[in-house]
Amino acid sequence: MPGSKNSEAKGNDKKSAGRILIVGLGNPGREYAQNRHNIGFMTISRLAEGNNIDLGRVQQRSIIGTGRISGQDVLLAKPQTYMNRSGEAVGGLSRFYKIDPQNILIVYDELDLPFGSLRLRQKGGAGGHNGMKSVIQHLGNDFPRLRLGIGRPPGQMDPAGFVLQDFRNGELPILEELLADACMAVESFLVDGIDLAMTRHNKI
């Protein structure tokens, strides 16, 4: 269970009694709002909208909101440090609210997953993602994460340029479905723990 003292023994199979920090990675500013790189921010916005959580406070260099999702106390956050310094904000929130890394779910874009797919992982490396590199520098690598597939860039296009492009109009129906799936995966993580959530939502 996220954050439980018995989580290893019980396989993370039930929700925690403590608060869970859910962080979506992205870049602040209107010019980045619809970028592929900001799908983590988009997920946090959907979670907030769907659960009547007000993202109206700024703390520890993040826009935050507190509330309950599926009966679990949560803190939703969008770091405002730009992607490659995301760990500064996440680390600050972790220390300020005394939330252990195992109780922090990071949501972010993944080039190496097909667009529209997602994968939950219990821990791991950054996989070349600069935001995750920064988070790992501040938290270590033992924290759960939700990777949202945006696919590889076409042809010889630079991946750095691709992630900073907006989703195309023709991609929006798939994006909507992916954001809905991401919210369901987060809710499953909160209710059932990471192991069962992975079994239910990791399709590839």
Nearest Cα to Cα of residue 74 among 95, 92, 54: 54
Average pLDDT over residues 139-154: 96
Kindly report the average pLDDT of the chain as a whole number.
92
Strand-pair partners of 69 = 72
pLDDT of residue 8: 38
Question: Is the confidence at residue 117, as pLDDT, over 70?
Answer: yes
Catalytically active residues are 37
Strands 104-110 and 62-69: unpaired
First to last CA, the chain: 23
Q: Evaluate if residue 202 carries a pLDDT over 90.
A: yes
> For position 204, what pLDDT does the model report?
61
* Whether the predicted model's global pTM rises above the 0.85 cut: yes
pLDDT exceeds cutoff 60 at 73: yes
The pLDDT of residue 27 is 98
> Distance between CA 56 and CA 168 in Å, rounded?
29
| Residues 132, 110: Cα–Cα separation, whole Å | 11
Decide if pLDDT at 13 tops 60: no
Confidence of residue 15 (pLDDT cuts 50, 70, 90): very low
Angle, vertex CA 169, rays to CA 113 and CA 177, nearest 5: 50
Element (H, E) at 23: strand 20-24
Per-residue pLDDT tens over the stretch 175-195: 999 999 999 999 999 999 999
Model confidence over 126-136: pLDDT tens digits?
Answer: 999 999 999 99
User: Which pLDDT score is estimated for 17?
Assistant: 53
